[in-house]
Structure 1
Amino acid sequence: MFEVETDDGTLYVAEDEGERGDEGPFMVVYRTPERETRYGWYCTNCESLDNAMDAMGTIICNDCGNYRKPDEWDAAHE
């Protein structure tokens, strides 16, 4: 794990937990090094924490556009 300093304090990026993105992996971010409280996602493509995830599991980096497709999707919504 490595640390990232933010306005919220120090956050911890788990390099061994992540999801594949189009431009680079998204890594899980925690508030504590013990991995007790999950904070969000870290985009390895642009080193940003500004990411959004929807209920279907899609992750999009708001800075560089790195994108993770959902695990499942409902064709009725297309």
Structure 2
Amino acid sequence: MWLSEDENQLRRDLQGVASDLRWSAVELLRIAEQLRLAGNDVDAQATQKLCELFQGDEERLAGYAEEVKAKVIRRTKAH
């Protein structure tokens, strides 16, 4: 199935934000490890929680992008 230009843009946007969240989570993991090594376990745990939230959001957005591809979610121009 072919996607419309608007649907392709929506899919690219969802994939882009999901990718940003993935790389942000990787960076947060690095920061959490540095905090842990510095003896700041409280902030390391808080950072780890943020990372987990980002990872969940990334998975959800990637799933939405796949739904756009399968035409379960569609974007149409507003009139």
TM-score by length of 1: 0.21
Give 1 or 2: higher helix fraction.
Answer: 2
Structure with larger RCO (C-alpha < 8 A, sep 6+): 2
Q: Which has the larger radius of gyration?
A: 2
TM-score by length of 2: 0.21
